[in-house]
A and B are shown apart, each in its own frame.
Chain A
Amino acid sequence: DAKTTQPNSMESNEEEPVHLPCNHSTISGTDYIHWYRQLPSQGPEYVIHGLTSNVNNRMASLAIAEDRKSSTLILHRATLRDAAVYYCIRGQAGTALIFGKGTTLSVSS
């Protein structure tokens, strides 16, 4: 049971921001929110993670709702190389990743 809900697919244009939503209404207090992405024919790749506060790194930003029941991954300027399946995963630090049905992001030029 992945315990997160994401839209099946989203589309974006190059150089536009992308907001990928995730619902995790049953998240526990010690669960982190992890985002991974999988490009075609590659292994999953870590994107970002957070617990309560919003987080930024070189790849993306993670906005976490105050009640922690939802979060949004923000890609500030989509590129063709960002086309991938994005997985939102909740879980405790240092534990296995339980993948659900991620969001397939398409990016058009």
Chain B
Amino acid sequence: AAGVIQSPRHLIKEKRETATLKCYPIPRHDTVYWYQQGPGQDPQFLISFYEKMQSDKGSIPDRFSAQQFSDYHSELNMSSLELGDSALYFCASSLGFGLAGFSYEQYFGPGTRLTVT
């Protein structure tokens, strides 16, 4: 079965640079969530989208922005990178309360490991 795809899988950036992470949800899934997991930490919710609109916001820094496109893929844009942004970034997808049905489960991708030097 198709899973959530994230690219790139690994990314190395220097301080003050920008980075763009991409997420391709499971086909037919209309909801995307972004989570950040620092070293030795538990995942933290950043932001979510349903049907291309922001649906919820967590502890996402102002330096970060995200959007969901017409094909439901999502991008997380990170600017003025700091050393503390080094983390695993997970994207998850699910079916929202749409006509296609609803899923309680969130399906996570393999993550993008961002290293800021």
Chain A interface residues toward B at CB < 8 A: 32, 34, 36, 38, 42-46, 49, 85, 87, 93-102
A44 touches B90 (CB 8 A): yes
Write out the residue numbers on chain A whose beta carbons fall within 8 Å of the beta carbon of B102: 93-94
By size class, the interface of chain B is 20 to 34
B42 touches A34 (CB 8 A): no
B94 touches A99 (CB 8 A): no
- Mask, B79-111, CB within 8 Å of A = 1, is 000000000001010101100001011111111
Q: Given A42-B110, A43-B111, A44-B90, does the pair A98, B45 have CB atoms closer than 8 Å? A: yes
User: Chain B: which residue is nearest A87 at the CB level?
Assistant: B42
Write out the residue numbers on chain A whose beta carbons fall within 8 Å of the beta carbon of B106: 36, 44, 46, 97
A43 touches B90 (CB 8 A): yes
> How many angstroms between the C-alpha atoms of A94 and B30 in the bound complex?
11
User: Chain B: which residue is nearest A34 at the CB level?
Assistant: B104
Q: Is B33 an interface residue (CB 8 A)?
A: yes
Q: Given A44-B108, A46-B105, A46-B107, does the pair A97, B94 have CB atoms closer than 8 Å? A: no
User: Chain A: which residue is nearest B31 at the CB level?
Assistant: A94
Question: Given A49, A87, A95, which contacts B105 in the complex, CB threshold below 8 Å?
Answer: A49
> How many angstroms between the C-alpha atoms of A49 and B39 in the bound complex?
27
Beyond A43-B109, A96-B48, A99-B35, 10 extra complex contacts between A and B, CB < 8 Å: A34-B104, A44-B108, A49-B104, A49-B105, A94-B31, A95-B56, A96-B45, A97-B33, A97-B45, A101-B42
CB distance from A42 to the nearest CB of B (A): 7
Write out the residue numbers on chain A whose beta carbons fall within 8 Å of the beta carbon of B43: 38, 44, 97, 99
Q: Is B115 an interface residue (CB 8 A)?
A: no
CB distance from A40 to the nearest CB of B (A): 12
